[in-house]
Structure 1
């Protein structure tokens, strides 16, 4: 039995959630390693500031990369559609016998 729309949407949401969780884990690992030299019971204010800045930069980077990725995908889709339209136009032109001059040749 093929999956229905509800199942596909639930799977899509699970994938999005897994991607977000992976992103948070990467950010936490990188920023913790960069900002916390000697783990203790509490974070020092300099470590908190470093973590905050690190996380902001990480999220900004993810946003820039995502925007570029989707912009590139959109451009590729537009190129594909333009090629399809051009291909369709040329095949319909050749199917109709192509252009003729005013004498019908």
Structure 2
């Protein structure tokens, strides 16, 4: 593993360097969701999802859930909980929305 804090000091405009440590795909009722697990310089793991579910009520999901985990496995479990938390197969009018901040 690299010393990410050292990499952040290469240029003054670099705000953060994150290591992508794992990538996963999950299928939820036929929709493929990308999951990236990243590590920051404090060795915390967190996830990014390629899509999130917006229900028929059009309310944005609440992303207040903590997204910092001590292990990759815990981060993947958190990602799967987050991805499936608002999804309901009987929700007519709901849709999966691409997450614009997902690293491609």
Same fold flag (TM > 0.5): no
Higher helix share: 1
Higher strand share: 2
Structure of higher CA gyration radius:
1
Higher RCO, 1 vs 2 (CA within 8 Å, ≥6 residues apart): 2
Q: Which range, TM-score by smaller chain? A: under 0.3
